Amino acid sequence: MDFRRRLPSDAPMRHPLFAAALALTACGPAVTPAAAAPPQRGAQADASHDVPAPPSPPSLQPTNHVLVRAGHVLDVRTGNLLADQLITVDGDTITSMTAAPASMPPGDVVDLSKYTVVPGLIDVHTHLTGSPEYIGLRGLTLSVPRQALIGAHNARVTLEAGFTTVRDVGAAGYADVALRDSIDAGDVPGPRMIVSGPALGITGGHCDDNELPPERHAVGDGVADGIAAVQHKVRENVKYGATVIKVCATGGVLSKGDDPRTSQYSLDELRAIVADAHRLGRKVAAHAHGGDGIKFSVEAGVDSIEHGTFIDDEAIAAMKKHGTYLVPTQYLGDWFLENAERLHIPDYMLAKARSVMPESRRNLAHAFASGVKVALGTDAAVYPHGLNARELGVYVKMGMKPIDAIRTATINAADLLGWKDRAGALEPGKWADLVAVDGDPTKDVTTLEHVKLVMKAGHVYRDERSR
């Protein structure tokens, strides 16, 4: 799914109405931005693609000192639960993790001795500025400032669900860039964001605006045809703040007049997109349902395949050879088909959804069993934000062990983003992003749907321990 309504060419990149988002998000902790400093870059991403990590967001309160006493800590690398641990947080970073002493040292203590603590979760396929009630023609009524305000609400909901980092892949008018910058500045609470701006797509393709009649001459923000045009669009997105490039390599489901089985960009166009993006330090996420579109994208060197509905053995082999991640987006099929009638989904969308979504489950289960690398992505906005963790339970039903499902939302996702040195595990030197739950998620992954406490960068954003 892509949420990409056209931005008039003279519209401002930062609309003053975005300040109103504060009224929607007053429940976040009070924070004061630190003095401006050059962003620090993380470690190198997968060397096979040689793309540097995105810049890390600035730390808002580097003097913060917190002690977290955890009943159990999940080591996502080994799958072991470590009992009675003390996690020390300075600023936004974990500085140590040791066995908890009999008497606690001085400092602010977050007592999680009754809970299991896991790393903050990561969703690598969101659309925070979209919501399911705006799928179809109703989405044409939304201005870019309205989408930014929707994003401010959804960012808070997503963070409170335990997702401390997201990759947002497709938004109109760079509303996702404005949202990310407001979160980083401490204006609104939300997850750490990597953002794409408008997704690239062909004329009449999944990422174009196809609903309006010809006399309207409506064109999606990211539409570009031909090698020179796609190179320009990549550079334009980078100019306006994109830290990842999203490309629609095949048709889609929730779009008019296209076929998810067919490729849209040519191999040469995809190669040009990837070459420019990687040269400019951005990874590439390719929306790709159909087999040829997946193969073209992998051959061109994209970093992840989004959806992968009609993946076959040839595509699986290519992804394994190149180390390309699969981002499955599976729970949306359950929720969407159950709620399509209530949402008044247009018939042309619903017909494709009923054909495509069940087949996706079968093909991707085969890809899982075949050893393709997987990072959790939800396509939240096709269903309500905040239900992101339900994706994990679907992976288990499709054959994953619970710990492997959890890894898709932690160390695997961090690796895909280029932040494996900063996120995805509870270890010294990484961001102090953690989630507390009842029970043992390695036995029942659905416990992650009911978080008790969420900490991002050393600050608590949700605390349900007394309830």
Q: What is the DSSP letter of 431?
A: B
For 353, phi then psi, to 5°, come to -60, -45
Select which of 46, 168, 181, 246 is catalytic.
Answer: 246
Give the containing element (helix H, strand E) for 235: helix 227-239
Which string of DSSP letters, residue by residue, matches 9-71? TT--SS-GGGGGHHHH-TTSPP--PPPP-PPPB-----TTTT-PPPBPPPPS-TT-EEEEEEE
Does the annotation count 246 as an active-site position? Answer: yes
Nearby residues of 409 by Cβ (< 8 Å), 6 or more positions away: 121, 122, 123, 375, 376, 389, 391, 392
Which two tokens mark 25?
A: 């998000």
Identify the residue whose tokens are 């400093």: 37
Q: Alpha carbon of 194 to those of 152, 246, 381, 419: distances in Å?
A: 15, 11, 17, 10
Q: Alpha carbon of 61 to those of 111, 156, 209: distances in Å?
A: 21, 19, 42
Q: Which residues of 383-417 are buried (b: 16+ CB within 10 A; e: fewer)?
A: bebbbbbbbbbbbbebebebbbbbbbbbbbbbbbb
Nearby residues of 215 by Cβ (< 8 Å), 6 or more positions away: none
- Give the 3-state secondary structure of residue 417: helix
Q: Angle of helix 313-322 relative to helix 347-369, nearest 10 degrees? A: 60
Select which of 75, 303, 379, 415 is catalytic.
Answer: 379
Which two tokens mark 82?
A: 């470590």
Which two tokens mark 129?
A: 């500025």
Nearby residues of 335 by Cβ (< 8 Å), 6 or more positions away: 382, 383, 384, 387, 390
Does the annotation count 373 as an active-site position? Answer: no
Give all strands of the β-sheet with 434-437 in edge-to-edge order.
Answer: 93-99, 81-90, 65-74, 108-119, 434-437, 453-456, 459-463
Residues 188 and 191: their CA atoms lie apart, in Å, by 10
CB atoms inside a 10 Å sphere around CB 292: 18
User: Checking DSSP bridges between strand 304-307 and strand 325-327, what pairing results, if any?
Assistant: parallel
Residues 417 and 376: their CA atoms lie apart, in Å, by 11
- Whether the Cβ atoms of residue 435 and residue 449 lie closer than 8 Å to each other: no
- Residues annotated as catalytic are 246, 379
